[in-house]
């Protein structure tokens, strides 16, 4: 058996098309095009590439973007001031601060300062809590949101399936587990101290791996027919000297056992950026709905 390859690139193109239609509908209704503010601190080359890509894709779906490039020595107070200004700026629908931040800036303070309604990365504790409680109106972290779409491209209904999330970070593993639970999967989380990872993986109908450990999940770890989502991305030197991106799953082995699997690259990565655009649109739509409700209240008063 050879697994079906889940084509993240084409699924992401579908999400971008839906977002572009959503933006056009907002604008046709008299609302300004959503605007994403992207804040980058320092000169990490990978972060520059990610930010340039996010800005380009934002504009390609008809949204506006505003980019703030701050130098590596920017103080935490100056960054928090900038974020508070963006929170107050009615033209801004979403705020994204590119991580990692320099060590002198407290990441928790930054994510707490971004207004929950503009928190398109979904890291503010209010959004984290809404997801944990299964409440409506949460902005959901982009990678897990994209992974759910990839899983749903394979399964109409995942209720009752066993899911294992390998990796327990706040960015991927934990919100991922909460979303799978919300869909009534029976969910476990594994991490660096988990014992007997192989047996636990072999029990999973849905296996989501986000560790950053290349090739951690071998083919014989995987339940026959399982859906395998490889979030991991590690840049390694290939034989020819050029860099190569690899995932956490030994793809050539896994493809012989899994029912469906994401490639690296071309799986989760493209969906993550597409879901950032979807979140920016959602933030703008929710804001438009709040403004409309406030107008109705004033008219009724
Ligand atoms: P992280 O370092 O914050 O967390 C890694 C998690 O993996 C931890 O919970 C750790 O306990 C667990 N872990 C590490 N070694 C393990 C092992 N041997 N067995 C079991 N668990 C182990 O990383 P992160 O931010 O969650 O990212 C994980 C990977 O996903 C990285 O490769 C990252 O580049 C990638 N990533 C990709 C995207 C995307 O869009 N494709 C987005 C975010 C992260």
- Find the CATH number of the domain harbouring 36: 3.40.50.10860
Q: Grade residue 217 by pLDDT with cuts at 50, 70 and 90.
A: very high
Tell whether 171 and 244 lie within a shared domain: yes
Q: Mean pLDDT lowest for which of 160-169, 254-263, 292-301?
A: 292-301
Q: pTM (2 decimals)?
A: 0.96
Residues 208, 171 share a domain: yes
Rounded to the nearest integer, the mean pLDDT of the chain is 96
**Is residue 297, in this structure, part of any structural domain at all?**
no
Residue 229 structural domain: 142-269
Q: Flag whether 22 is in a domain.
A: no
What is the Cα–Cα distance from 61 to 18, expressed in whole angstroms?
Answer: 9
Which of 82, 116, 150 is the last residue in one of the domains? Answer: 116
Choose which residue among 169, 175, 195 to substitute to test ligand 1 binding: the one with the highest number of ligand atoms within 8 A of its C-beta.
Answer: 169
User: What does the pLDDT read at residue 104?
Assistant: 97
Q: Is the pLDDT of residue 299 over 80?
A: no
Asked if 64 and 183 sit in the same domain, the reply is: no
Specify whether 96 is located in the same domain as 147: no
- Domain containing 160 — which CATH number? 3.40.50.720
Q: Which atom of ligand 1 is nearest to the CA of 173?
A: 26
Q: Is 249 in the pocket of ligand 1 (CB under 6 A)?
A: no
165 plus 85 within the same structural domain: no
Residue 17 lies in a domain: no
Mean pLDDT of 67-86: 98
Same domain, 80 and 155: no
Mean pLDDT calculated for residue range 74-95 = 98
Are residues 160 and 230 both part of a single domain? yes
What is the Å distance from ligand 1's center to 207 Cα? 14
pLDDT at 246 (0 to 100): 96
Does the structure show a pLDDT above 80 at 301? no
Q: Are residues 151 and 254 in the same domain?
A: yes
Q: Is 1 within the bounds of a domain? A: no
Q: What is the pLDDT of residue 241?
A: 73
**Best residue for ligand 1 mutational test, from 143, 188, 191 (most atoms within 8 Å of Cβ):** 191
Mean pLDDT, range 176-186, rounded to an integer: 98
Q: Is residue 49 part of a domain?
A: yes
The pLDDT score that the predictor gives to residue 155 is 98
Ligand 1 pocket check for 1: Cβ under 6 Å: no
* Band (270; pLDDT cuts 50, 70, 90): very high
- Domain annotation covers residue 123: no
Mean pLDDT, range 84-111, rounded to an integer: 97
Are 35 and 70 part of one and the same domain?
A: yes
Asked whether residue 216 falls in the same domain as residue 112, the answer is no
285 assigned to active site: no
Does the CB atom of residue 166 touch ligand 1 within 6 A? yes
Cα–ligand 1 centroid distance for 13 (angstroms)? 25
The pLDDT assigned to 227 comes to: 99
Residue 10 in domain: no
Q: Based on the fold, state whether residues 147 and 112 are members of the same structural domain.
A: no
Section 183-202 average pLDDT: 98
Q: Are residues 171 and 264 in the same domain?
A: yes
Instruction: Please give the average per-residue pLDDT across 65-73, as a whole number.
Output: 97
Residue 210 lies in a domain: yes
216 CA closest ligand 1 atom index: 18
Q: What total number of domains does the chain contain?
A: 2
User: Which of residues 69, 99, 116 is at a domain's end?
Assistant: 116
pLDDT of residue 194: 98
Contacts for 144-147: CB closer than 8 Å, 24+ residues apart = 144/172, 144/175, 144/176, 144/179, 145/179, 145/275, 145/278, 145/279, 146/8, 146/12, 146/15, 146/268, 146/271, 146/272, 146/274, 146/275, 147/176, 147/179, 147/208, 147/229, 147/231, 147/268, 147/271
């Amino acid at each position: 058996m050879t697994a079906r390859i889940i084509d993240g690139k084409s699924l992401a193109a579908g999400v971008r098309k839906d977002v572009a239609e959503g933006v056009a509908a907002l604008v046709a209704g008299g609302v300004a095009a959503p605007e994403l503010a992207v804040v980058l601190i320092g000169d990490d080359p990978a972060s520059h590439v990610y930010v340039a890509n996010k800005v380009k894709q934002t504009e390609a779906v008809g949204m506006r973007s505003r980019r703030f490039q701050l130098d590596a020595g920017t103080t935490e107070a100056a960054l928090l001031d900038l974020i508070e200004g963006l929170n107050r700026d009615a033209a801004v629908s979403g705020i994204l601060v590119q991580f990692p931040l320099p060590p002198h800036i407290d990441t928790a303070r930054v994510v707490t300062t971004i207004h929950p309604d503009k928190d398109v990365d979904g890291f503010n504790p209010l959004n984290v809590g809404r997801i944990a409680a299964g409440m409506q109106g949460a902005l959901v972290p982009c990678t897990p949101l994209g992974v759910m779409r990839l899983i749903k491209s394979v399964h109409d209904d995942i209720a009752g399936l066993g899911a294992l999330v390998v990796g327990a970070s706040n960015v991927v593993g934990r919100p991922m587990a909460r979303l799978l639970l919300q869909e009534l999967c029976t969910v476990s989380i594994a991490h660096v101290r988990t014992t007997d990872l192989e047996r636990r993986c072999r029990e999973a109908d849905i296996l989501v791996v986000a560790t950053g450990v290349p090739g951690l999940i071998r083919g014989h770890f995987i339940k026959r027919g399982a859906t395998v989502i490889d979030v991991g991305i590690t840049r390694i030197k290939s034989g020819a000297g050029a860099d190569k991106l690899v995932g956490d799953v030994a793809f050539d082995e896994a493809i012989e056992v899994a029912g469906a699997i994401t490639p690296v690259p071309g799986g989760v990565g493209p969906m993550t950026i597409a879901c950032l655009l979807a979140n920016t649109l959602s933030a703008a739509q929710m804001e438009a709905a709040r403004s409309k409700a406030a107008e109705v209240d004033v008219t009724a008063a």
